[in-house]
Structure 1
Amino acid sequence: MTATLTNPLRVGLRQERVITPQCLVIFGASGDLTHRKLIPALFELYRQRRLPTEFAVLGCARRSWSDEEFRERMAEALGDTVSENRAAWDQFSAGLFYEPVDLQQPEHLVRLSGRLDVIDRQRATRGNRTFYLSVSPTYYGSGCRALAGAGLLSDPKRTRVVIEKPFGRDYGSAQALNRIVQSCAQENQIYRIDHYLGKETVQSILVLRFANTIFEPIWNRNYIANVQITAAETVGVEERAGYYETSGALRDMVQNHLTQMLALTTMESPGRFDPESIRNEKAKVLQVARLADEQEPWRCCVRGQYGAGGTSARPLAGYRQEPGVDPNSTTETYVAMKLFVDNWRWQGVPFYLRTGKRLPKRLSEVVLTFREAPVHLFDSAGASPTANQLILRIQPDEGAEFRFEVKAPGSGMRSRPVDMEFSYDKSFGEPSDEGYVRLLADAMLGDPTLFIRGDEVEAAWRLYTPLLELIEDSPWQLPVHPYEASTWGPAASDSLLARDDLLWRRP
């Protein structure tokens, strides 16, 4: 069965806010994120007519590019999108500029300030500026200090700074970075970004829960038996070995992406729909989340690392054979764990989180499994009745699926499971925007709803501190289990759920 809109309009569904005159300053403009995500997202906003004519992008990096060279390189990055929209690109790219800047050189910041004043006059951006730190995390603190020292963050109404993940490496470093950043700008100027929060289906968790009375009464420990949150990738480490060797899956995916999905799934209803009310509830629920066994954390977590696999036609190298990876690396590419949320709504409900590279399928989803009926009155077409499940598909097939039992055809009274499905593409007639499209727009609009507040990021790091300390101090207690590429992770991960007589969902 497929759920559809009562009156699915194909045109005009969007009610978007138009961004005010603005200059977006991207530090790290020569990097991969700018090429792959930021400029494509900005061009998409332009094509949607959501950028004002008084708009500019100033790319900054150490390379000595000219404005024209920056425009050419961005056009190359977009490829066919530019050739298919040449007139739009020509108009958009007229607002792209470039300035060689090293954030560690004070004289460069003086020159940058002067260039911004020129762009303000040339493009009529009215002094509204969003600074995007797409640089190495080691420069987040010093970058904010440099901007503040140059007086570029002094106006809290017209300036803001966007900081990429990871925000810190652990609880202590996140606290230290917060102190630095908050000494340079007010909290309402600081936008800690997690691109998962830009996905329509992540945001839809809130609407599904708090706009539908059929879900709220059963969204608790009385009806939900367990929750699984998965973020699976088919790719390996690719070109990120230098970064990944120092982070691993726990820091790269669990502390941010999976934890944000956990927070949205478990948070209480905000008193009203405004940024601080929502972020208050997310912070509160993360502050009462805990590992299933904080005293012996190795009992509730499994680490894995992919080995060689694939097929004879498409062999896949193991992690240790990837370029730039230590041949004796113990960095995890897979993590699975069990958590609890100690509040009235969720007390005793286990939450299982897992993420990994080189898994069989690319997907992110939240699966809520409901408690079984107290008495099974009917025979089942399978070995036993299937528990009701609500599956929230974050990517790639954005939507939701509800699994429940119905009578199987025939003269007997046997039950069988069926799925009722909602698909964004089918219902709305258009794919949802890529996450950076929404988040860049919100940052420039000054809307922090989908960005992470300082206390929230600290609570997320605190949650995983026992695991990080264990990996650092006693790694033999939390060993890295090998798993074959294109499988669903190490056998130890299955054992983690088997202790509770459960299985991972195999999509």
Structure 2
Amino acid sequence: MSSKVIVTIFGASGDLAKRKLYPSLFRLYKSGNLSKHFAVIGTARRPWSKEYFESVVVESILDLADSTEQAQEFASHFYYQSHDVNDSEHYIALRQLQAELNEKYQAEHNKLFFLSMAPQFFGTIAKHLKSENIVDGKGFERLIVEKPFGTDYATASKLNDELLATFDEEQIFRIDHYLGKEMIQSIFAVRFANLIFENVWNK
């Protein structure tokens, strides 16, 4: 995936965004895997300004930054839109902002959407992204959704169908941050308690 991209985060004021998403994006930026040709649009219902949103981002990454200036430079790529996921007019405004940022950052129409919201909103957002021509087939387009993905097979299947009405399967990434957490935390116990791994891991 190109590092030239406009990232749109639905649910940008939430805890997941502050604790996981902004630090993860900053690590990519700091390591050089996210170029200067990127911007992040945060959306949520709260009436934040760009300046306040930047301060939230800086606070979430300051411990990872080499300096306050580095954190502020990263946060300057962040933009905010107060957004009601059910309001078509807000998606029209989002499309206009994306177009402006695509030109400013030369992002080549590459778009990544992260749904950091309750799953009952996934289908609504995906439908509007298509109907308001935000997903337009230009550049690469990716969708990331967070678990929980429905409450049972029926609701998960319905959500899947709603997403597939806008995105192709290979464009959709379903993530569970905690699926392997216990295993990773116990990796040393697994390694030394199982002789079968001795020859493989003793390098």
* Equivalent in the alignment of 2:165: 183
**1:60-459 correspondence to structure 2 within 5 Å:** 60-82=43-65, 84-155=66-137, 157-196=139-178, 257=179, 364-365=182-183, 394-395=184-185, 400-403=190-193
* Equivalent in the alignment of 2:5: 22
- After TM superposition, the runs of 4+ consecutive aligned structure 1 residues lying more than 4 A away are 396-400, 419-423
Report the CA distance shift for 1:396/1:42 in structure 2 as closer, same or farther (over 3 A). Answer: farther
SS of 1:102 mapped into structure 2: coil
* Equivalent in the alignment of 1:280: none
Q: Offset of 1:31 from its aligned partner?
A: 0.3
**What is the CA–CA distance in structure 2 between the aligned matches of 1:188 and 1:154, rounded to whole Å?**
16
**What is the CA–CA distance in structure 1 between the aligned matches of 2:188 and 2:101, rounded to whole Å?**
40
CA RMSD of aligned residues (A): 2.5
8 Å CA contact 1:168, 1:174 repeated in 2: yes
**What is the CA–CA distance in structure 2 between the aligned matches of 1:111 and 1:29, rounded to whole Å?**
17
Q: Residue type matched to 2:7 in 1?
A: L
Report the CA distance shift for 1:57/1:404 in structure 2 as closer, same or farther (over 3 A). Answer: closer
8 Å CA contact 1:61, 1:101 repeated in 2: yes
Q: Residue type matched to 1:81 in 2?
A: L
8 Å CA contact 1:60, 1:98 repeated in 2: yes
**What is the CA–CA distance in structure 1 between the aligned matches of 2:69 and 2:187, rounded to whole Å?**
32
SS of 1:51 mapped into structure 2: coil
Q: By percentage of residues, which structure has more strand?
A: 1
**What is the CA–CA distance in structure 2 between the aligned matches of 1:96 and 1:156, rounded to whole Å?**
22
* Equivalent in the alignment of 1:307: none
Of all paired residues, the percent bearing the same amino acid is: 32
TM-score of the superposition, structure 1-length normalised? 0.37
1:52 equivalent in alignment to 2:35: yes
Structure ranking higher on relative contact order (CA contacts 8 Å, 6+ apart): 2
8 Å CA contact 2:26, 2:61 repeated in 1: no
**What is the CA–CA distance in structure 1 between the aligned matches of 2:58 and 2:29, rounded to whole Å?**
14
SS of 1:401 mapped into structure 2: helix
Q: Offset of 1:195 from its aligned partner?
A: 2.3
Report the CA distance shift for 1:89/1:422 in structure 2 as closer, same or farther (over 3 A). Answer: farther
1:35 equivalent in alignment to 2:22: no
Q: Offset of 1:192 from its aligned partner?
A: 1.3
**What is the CA–CA distance in structure 2 between the aligned matches of 1:396 and 1:122, rounded to whole Å?**
46
TM-score of the superposition, structure 2-length normalised? 0.88
Unaligned runs of 5+ in 2: none
Q: Residue type matched to 1:103 in 2?
A: V
**What is the CA–CA distance in structure 2 between the aligned matches of 1:99 and 1:187, rounded to whole Å?**
28
8 Å CA contact 1:22, 1:125 repeated in 2: yes
Q: Residue type matched to 1:65 in 2?
A: W
